[in-house]
């Protein structure tokens, strides 16, 4: 069984950063449309969404053998998933940075941002997050990736890491009490986000379980990939970082957080939110890393 060795940790970081950036923008867009137009939920998405995706794209660029030729990738627009992805990513970055510029320091307020821009941004954010799964999903030579569940798994995990960034953002907000006075208390919002994310984590865990169960019965190569995760070379990362720190710990913390009364133990809740946020990000990166590196090709005979 031969593992793919062509794509390594740079690509894993790219998949993670693009997913997290798209995820946190999705949160901002949903908050804008869901009536919860709290600046506290919108700002992380606007300030970090596009920059994170840009950082990821930069890593992808560095991974190219010939980075200076990257524009060739859009010369044949729909030929390859990489071309499609380059276009989706570019449109998202354009919208995201425009949105950021509109809200930039000393500039106009949220009202100045046209709704259609946010809606379009949300569509391309979902596109960016899903695309990272499709990039791997269309590779028929690697059965472990060649699975319709993968884009959904990456999408849910992206949304969750986006919420993770919002939970982390809460600690930064906490430092400036002036902001809290102006915008109202952030804790109830943090608790709401924790509640929503605990739902997402349950969904992600089910998708991951389903994904692995399908894969273990999809031929020798896919079964070997599953074996690498659950009992082979990547078992430590899988059980400790993906399952333990990435799913179970934040799930427990979030359920506990959402049950507390906001008035009590305020500082504690902010810290717990930040810890959950960090866990979610570590889990999301680890998940992509091991799925990428455990990609085994079918044996030739």
Partner 1 sequence: MAKYGMVIDLKRCVGCYSCVLACKAENGTPPGVFWNKVLATEKGRYPSAHIYYTPVACMHCDSPPCEGVCPTGATYKGRDGIVSIEQEKCIGCRYCQVSCPYDVRSFNERIKGYFQEFGLTPYEKAAYARHKPGTVSKCDFCSHRLEQGKEPACVVACPARARHFGDLGDPTSEVARLIAGRSGYRLREEAGTQPSVYYLPG
* Residues in 4-23 that interact with partner 1 by CB under 8 A: 4, 6-7
Q: Does 98 bind partner 1 (CB under 8 A)?
A: no
Nearer to partner 1, 200 or 293 (CB): 293
Q: Determine which residue in the list 28, 50, 129, 142 makes contact with partner 1, applying CB under 8 A.
A: 142
Q: Does 175 bind partner 1 (CB under 8 A)?
A: no
Q: Determine which residue in the list 2, 37, 90, 231 makes contact with partner 1, applying CB under 8 A.
A: 2
Q: Other CB atoms closer than 10 Å to residue 135's CB: what's the count?
A: 23
Residues 6+ apart with CB under 8 A from 232: none
Measured distance CA(250)–CA(206) in Å, rounded: 16
Q: Does 100 bind partner 1 (CB under 8 A)?
A: no
Q: Does 301 bind partner 1 (CB under 8 A)?
A: yes
Which residue stretch of 62-70, 121-129, 156-164, 273-281 sits at the interface with partner 1 (rule: CB under 8 A)? 62-70
Q: Does 261 bind partner 1 (CB under 8 A)?
A: no
Q: Does 260 bind partner 1 (CB under 8 A)?
A: no
Q: Does 236 bind partner 1 (CB under 8 A)?
A: no
Instruction: Dump the DSSP string for the chain.
Output: --B--SS-HHHHHHHHHHHHHHHHHHHHHHHHHTS---HHHHHHHHHHHHHHHHHHHHHHHHHSSSGGGGGGGGTSTTTSHHHHHHHHHHHHHHHHHHHHHHTSTTS--GGGS-HHHHHHHHHHHHHHHHHHHHHHHT-TT-TTT--THHHHHHHHHHHHHHHHHHHHHHHHHHH-HHHHHHH--SHHHHHHHHHHHHHHHHHHHHHHHHHHHHHHTSHHHHHHHHHHHHTSTTHHIIIIIIIIIIIIHHHHHHHHHHHS-TTSSHHHHHHHHHHHHHHHHHHHHHHHHHHHHT-BPPP--
Residue 225 CB, nearest distance to partner 1 (Å)?
14
Q: Does 298 bind partner 1 (CB under 8 A)?
A: yes
Say how many residues touch partner 1, by CB under 8 A.
Answer: 32
Q: Determine which residue in the list 54, 81, 179, 278 makes contact with partner 1, applying CB under 8 A.
A: 81
Q: Other CB atoms closer than 10 Å to residue 8's CB: what's the count?
A: 13
Q: Determine which residue in the list 33, 70, 101, 210 makes contact with partner 1, applying CB under 8 A.
A: 70
Q: Determine which residue in the list 1, 62, 141, 240 makes contact with partner 1, applying CB under 8 A.
A: 141
Which residue stretch of 26-34, 40-48, 64-72, 121-129 sits at the interface with partner 1 (rule: CB under 8 A)? 64-72
Residue 156 CB, nearest distance to partner 1 (Å)?
24
Cβ–Cβ < 8 Å for 5, 150: no
**Six token digits for residue 39:** 């600046």
Nearer to partner 1, 112 or 300 (CB): 300
Q: Determine which residue in the list 1, 58, 82, 255 makes contact with partner 1, applying CB under 8 A.
A: 82
Q: Does 73 bind partner 1 (CB under 8 A)?
A: yes
Kindly list the residues in this chain that would bind partner 1 in the complex (CB under 8 A).
Answer: 2, 4, 6-7, 63-67, 69-70, 72-76, 79-83, 86, 138-142, 295, 297-298, 300-301
């Amino acid at each position: 069984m031969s593992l793919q060795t062509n794509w390594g940790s740079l690509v894993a970081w790219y998949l993670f950063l693009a997913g997290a950036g798209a995820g946190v923008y999705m949160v901002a867009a949903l908050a804008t449309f869901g009536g919860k137009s709290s600046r506290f939920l919108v700002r992380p998405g606007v300030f970090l969404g596009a920059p994170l995706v840009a950082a990821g794209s930069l890593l992808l660029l560095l991974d190219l053998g010939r980075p200076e030729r990257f524009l060739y990738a859009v010369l044949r627009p729909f030929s390859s998933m990489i071309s499609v992805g380059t276009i989706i990513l570019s449109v998202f970055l354009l919208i995201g940075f425009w949105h950021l510029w509109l809200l930039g320091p000393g500039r106009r307020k949220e009202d100045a941002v046209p709704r259609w821009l946010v809606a379009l941004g949300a569509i391309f954010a979902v596109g960016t997050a899903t695309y990272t799964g499709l990039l791997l999903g269309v590779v028929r030579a690697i059965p472990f990736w060649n699975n319709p569940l993968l884009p959904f798994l990456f999408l849910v995990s992206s949304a969750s890491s986006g919420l993770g960034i919002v939970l982390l953002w809460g600690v930064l907000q906490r430092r400036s009490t002036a902001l809290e006075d102006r915008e109202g208390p952030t804790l109830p919002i943090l608790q709401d986000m924790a509640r929503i994310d605990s739902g997402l984590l349950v969904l992600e865990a089910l998708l991951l379980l389903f994904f692995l169960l399908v894969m273990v019965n999809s031929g020798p190569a896919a079964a070997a990939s599953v074996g690498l995760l659950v009992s082979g070379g990547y078992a430590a990362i899988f059980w400790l970082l993906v399952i333990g720190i990435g799913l179970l710990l934040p799930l427990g913390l979030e359920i506990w957080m959402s049950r507390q009364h906001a008035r009590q133990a305020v500082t504690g809740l902010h810290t717990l939110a930040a810890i959950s946020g960090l866990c979610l990000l570590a889990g999301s990166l680890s998940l992509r890393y091991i799925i990428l590196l455990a990609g085994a090709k079918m044996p030739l005979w």
